[in-house]
Amino acid sequence: MNLRVPGPTPLPKQVREATAADMINHRGPEFKEMLAGICSGLQYLFETGNEVVLLTGSGTGGLEAAIVNLVNPGDQVVAVSIGAFGERFREIAETFGAQVTTVAAEWGQAADPDALDEALSRTPNARLVLVTHNETSTGVTNDLQALAEVVHAHDNGQGPLLVVDGISSVGSIPLRTDAWGCDIVITGSQKSWMSPPGVSMLSVSPRAWEAIESCICPRYYWDLQRARSYARKGQTPWTPAVSVLYALSAALQLMRAEGLEAIHARHRRVAQHMREGAQALGLELFADPAHVSDTVTTLRVPAGMDGDALVAKVREQGAVIAGGQGKLKGQVVRVGHLGYVDDADIDEVLRALAIALGRG
């Protein structure tokens, strides 16, 4: 099966083999060495000098960790939400008592930096801005650099801090953590990282650490200060998902060998191939063409056809694609092309789609 959902993504052979290795002591020297290699590999791909912390949990655990370490009850938070994952991030902030102002866009569109500017003018005490860099439910990539510039223009010395859900972007498409001033960037092992699900990775800026130190929101498993102090000893506070870390370590070696620029170029090329091929089959892109994602393509289900039925027919042809999420259920299908992907994988998806649509 050609697995083309936007996570989990397929694993290269070297990564699959790495997961089969025997266990080691997670408080021993081999683990310490592996953790150091993983963190430096992540810093390279996040384009950051900030510390990177690993947590055992999926990407959503990383989002919750960011919130519980930064949000005091009643804090003002601005959530930029352009789809299902933006809504999730906003909901997590509300769950922990934030007063959230939402900057929304119609699903399929990118966030408008002017709308964020206006919202920040109305909430001068906002402590955080939450942004989904790449909205996996709609196939839209926000202009994170432009949004970050707006956030920094409102900096009153205490923030707001910029917290980025980069779960389906960093490691595939450019996310310049330091150059764009992203205080926290969150990702998950099963997206760009050619690894199984189970580990979330976060980069944390020095001023985010300061805010974390004074945050009174209760937390235990997701306590980032504890994660940092253990990381400095080459450990994690709790028993980590050792096998997933074996995979991540092997995958990062492959990614370093390929190189950041080459990885970005491959994702751009493959995404272009997917979009052109789908359009040649008569399918319409759901996302605004000016902001289409290079990691996930969202296609409108042709009139008179059911989205779930289309996914099932494509599956019969050997390719696994995803349906729509939230209010897009039944209306769109999504093809993931992040991580371990090349043009030949897209050719297979296009062939399966052509047959499923009766155009083969």
Ligand X SMILES: *Cc1c(COP(=O)(O)O)cnc(C)c1O
Residue 294: CB minimum distance to ligand X, A: 13
* Nearer CB in complex with ligand X: 41/139: 139
Strand (E) positions, 1-107?
A: 2-3, 51-56, 76-81, 99-104
3-state percent helix, strand, coil for the chain, nearest multiple of 5: 45, 15, 40
Among 286, 317, 319, 326, CA closest to 302: 286
* Nearer CB in complex with ligand X: 108/188: 188
Tell me the per-residue interface mask from 172 to 211 with ligand X, x by CB under 6 A, - otherwise. Answer: ----------------x-----------------------
Near ligand X by CB under 6 A: residue from 165, 183, 294, 345: 165
HSE of 241 in the Cβ direction (CA atoms, 13 Å)?
20
Tokens read off for 76: 């003002």
By CB under 6 A, is residue 336 in contact with ligand X? no
d(CA 107, CA 94): 21
Residue 35: CB minimum distance to ligand X, A: 21
Other CB atoms within 10 Å distance of the CB of residue 151: 27
By CB under 6 A, is residue 123 in contact with ligand X? no
By CB under 6 A, is residue 132 in contact with ligand X? yes
Q: Which residues, including other chains, have CB under 8 Å from residue 196's CB and lie 6 or more apart? A: 8, 11, 19, 189, 190, 243, 244, 247
By CB under 6 A, is residue 112 in contact with ligand X? no
* Paired strand residues for 161: 128
By CB under 6 A, is residue 59 in contact with ligand X? yes
* Paired strand residues for 102: 79
Near ligand X by CB under 6 A: residue from 10, 32, 37, 58: 58
Q: How many residues bind ligand X (CB under 6 A)?
A: 13
By CB under 6 A, is residue 298 in contact with ligand X? no
By CB under 6 A, is residue 56 in contact with ligand X? no
Among 17-25, 54-62, 120-128, 230-238, which window interacts with ligand X (CB under 6 A)?
54-62
Among 57-65, 122-130, 266-274, 279-287, which window interacts with ligand X (CB under 6 A)?
57-65
Q: Are 58 and 178 in contact (CB under 8 A)?
A: no
Binding residues for ligand X (CB under 6 A): 6-7, 58-60, 85, 132, 134, 136, 165, 167-168, 188
